[in-house]
């Protein structure tokens, strides 16, 4: 975390906990980027070899699954559309004056 002793002793326990959490999160994010970069390179090498019928992706190598999209009902779609129209029509009406 690269804290000097004076900085360390000036921290409250809550601040120190937040710093530790942020440090761990950043470390995990960096590790995940390294794993993905390695899987990306390996997938390109595997695909270039021509030994596989299906395309190998970094996500397949890392064991990640695609997020399954859930179909929405027509009622949910209409409700979402009405909310968007209500939200954006107010902005459009305030910017533009339509003749009529």
**pLDDT single digits (tens) 45-72:** 999 998 989 999 999 999 988 777 788 8
pTM comes to 0.56
How far, in whole angstroms, is CA 48 from its chain's centroid? 29
Say how far apart CA 62 and CA 57 lie, in whole Å: 9
- Ranges of H-type helices in 1-100: 5-10, 13-49, 58-62, 74-95
Residue 43: how many CB atoms within 10 A of its CB? Answer: 19
């Amino acid at each position: 975390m690269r804290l000097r002793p004076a900085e360390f002793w000036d921290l409250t326990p809550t601040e120190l906990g937040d710093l530790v959490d942020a440090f761990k999160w950043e470390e995990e994010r960096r590790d995940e980027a390294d794993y993905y970069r390695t899987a990306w390179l390996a997938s390109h090498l595997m695909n270039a070899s021509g030994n596989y019928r299906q395309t190998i992706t970094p996500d397949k190598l890392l064991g990640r699954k695609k997020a399954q999209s859930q179909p929405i009902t027509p009622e949910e779609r209409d409700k979402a559309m009405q909310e968007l129209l209500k939200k954006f029509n107010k902005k459009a009406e305030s910017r533009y004056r339509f003749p009529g």
